[in-house]
């Protein structure tokens, strides 16, 4: 009997998905308010998260369950390296470190890889299907919000080895449904997926202070320019 894990994951994480989308940083991003300093910190955290996840997925590529969704074409580590080189320069490796939330996320991935590898499925599902589903939209928002040229700082959203993203997502979901697991294991995977959303939310929440500060500075600069321009216009008018 099929467990229909793909459906269970979709339905079982709806609330967490909605909560993640309503974190201030994400809401601002979706509205086009993107600030480079905050964004590059997120990219740095994601680099450590994806590096850990992809190393552990590789390690368990022959696992009877994990192997069903082992798709190296999804890997994001190399793409994030390109983006980090753009945002930080050639010496980017010396300039980045995972935040507290990033460290917690990586620690959880390493932990389950050692104790319950099948739970890696939850982290793969949470990150990769989200990346595939909204990648091009998010890429456009990032480009407009940070005034990026095509091909600059958005490699993360490009899946060069996947020609048809919709077809690939269907293949991925089918692989989830064909997994040799029982309902108890499916329940644990769904629970872990909700925890994965929570770990992502913590990374986003860390960035809210930086974003608010940046927005405040932008507003201050705008008001200052307006006042300066107004004073200059008044002085010119009085001189005339």
CATH number reported for the structural domain that contains residue 15 in this entry: 1.20.910.10
Any domain includes 74: yes
Top mean pLDDT of 1-15, 85-99, 218-232 is at 85-99
In this predicted structure, the answer to whether residue 228 has a pLDDT above a threshold of 60 is: no
What is the tally of structural domains in the chain? 1
| CA proximity to 42, closest of 62, 30, 26, 20 | 26
Any domain includes 145: yes
Any domain includes 54: yes
- Evaluate if pTM is beyond 0.85: yes
**Rounded mean pLDDT, 83-100:** 97
User: Taking each helix axis from N to C terminus, what angle separates 5-12 and 165-177, rounded to the nearest 10 degrees?
Assistant: 110
Query: CB burial class (10 A; 0-12, 13-18, 19+) of residue 128?
Result: buried
- State which residues form the domain around 41: 5-208
Q: What is the pLDDT of residues 157-183, one digit of tens each?
A: 999 999 999 999 999 999 999 999 999
């Amino acid at each position: 009997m099929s467990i229909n894990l793909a459906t269970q994951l979709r339905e079982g994480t709806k609330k967490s998905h909605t909560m993640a989308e309503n974190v201030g940083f994400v809401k601002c991003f979706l509205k086009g308010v993107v600030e480079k300093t905050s964004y590059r910190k997120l990219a740095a955290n994601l680099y450590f998260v994806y590096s850990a996840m992809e190393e552990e997925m590789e390690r368990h590529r022959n696992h009877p369950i994990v192997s069903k969704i082992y798709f190296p074409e999804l890997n994001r580590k190399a793409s994030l390296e390109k983006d980090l080189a753009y945002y930080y320069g050639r010496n980017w490796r010396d300039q980045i470190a995972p935040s507290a939330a990033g460290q917690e996320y990586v620690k959880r991935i390493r932990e389950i890889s050692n104790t319950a590898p099948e739970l890696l499925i939850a982290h793969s599902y949470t990150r990769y299907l989200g990346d595939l589903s909204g990648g091009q939209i998010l890429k456009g928002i990032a480009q407009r919000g940070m005034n990026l040229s095509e091909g600059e700082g958005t490699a993360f959203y490009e899946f060069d080895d996947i020609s048809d993203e919709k077809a690939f997502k269907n293949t991925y979901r089918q692989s989830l449904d064909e997994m040799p697991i029982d309902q108890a294991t499916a329940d644990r995977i769904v629970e872990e997926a909700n925890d994965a959303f929570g770990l992502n939310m913590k990374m986003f929440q860390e960035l809210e202070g930086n974003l608010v500060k940046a927005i405040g500075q932008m507003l201050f600069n705008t008001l200052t320019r307006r006042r300066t321009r107004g004073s200059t216009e008044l002085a010119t008018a009085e001189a005339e």
